[in-house]
Homo-oligomer: A and B are copies of this chain.
Amino acid sequence: MKSALLVIDMQKGFLSPVSPLFIAGAPATVSACAHVIARCRAAGVPVFFVTRRYRADGSDVELARRERWRAGGKPLTPGCAEEISEAMPACFGSGAGDYHIRKPRYSAFFSTELDLVLRRLGVDHVILAGTTTPNCIRTSCYDALSLDYRVTVLRDCTSSATEEIQEANLADMARAGAAVVSSEELELEE
Cβ of A92 < 8 Å from any Cβ of B? no
How many chain copies?
2
Decide yes or no whether A163 CB sits under 8 A from chain B. no
- The answer to whether A146 touches B62, judged by C-beta atoms less than 8 angstroms apart, is yes
Mostly helix, strand, loop or mixed at chain A's interface? helix
A64 touches which of B63, B139, B165, B177 (Cβ 8 Å)? B177
- Is A172's CB within 8 Å of the partner chain B? yes
Q: 1/0 contact trace for A136-169 toward B, CB 8 Å?
A: 0011001101101010000000000100110011
The range of chain A's interface size is 20 to 34
Chain B residues within 8 Å of A107, by CB: 142, 146
B-chain residues with CB within 8 Å of residue A64 when the two chains form the complex:
145, 176-177
Residue A102 lies at the interface, judged by CB distance under 8 Å to chain B: no
Output the least CB separation between A115 and chain B (Å).
12
A106 touches B172 (CB 8 A): no
A164 proximity list for chain B (CB < 8 A): 168
* CB-based nearest B residue for A146: B105
Q: What are the residues of chain B within 8 A of A110 when measuring CB–CB? A: 143, 146
Which residues of B are found within 8 Å of A145, using beta-carbon distances? 62-64, 105-106
* 17 further A-B pairs in the complex, CB-CB below 8 A; given A65-B177, A135-B142, A168-B172: A62-B145, A63-B145, A64-B176, A64-B177, A105-B145, A105-B146, A107-B142, A107-B146, A111-B146, A134-B172, A134-B175, A138-B138, A139-B139, A139-B146, A165-B171, A168-B168, A168-B169
Q: Give residues in A with beta carbon < 8 Å to B.
A: 62-65, 105-107, 110-111, 134-135, 138-139, 142-143, 145-146, 148, 150, 161, 164-165, 168-169, 171-172, 175-177
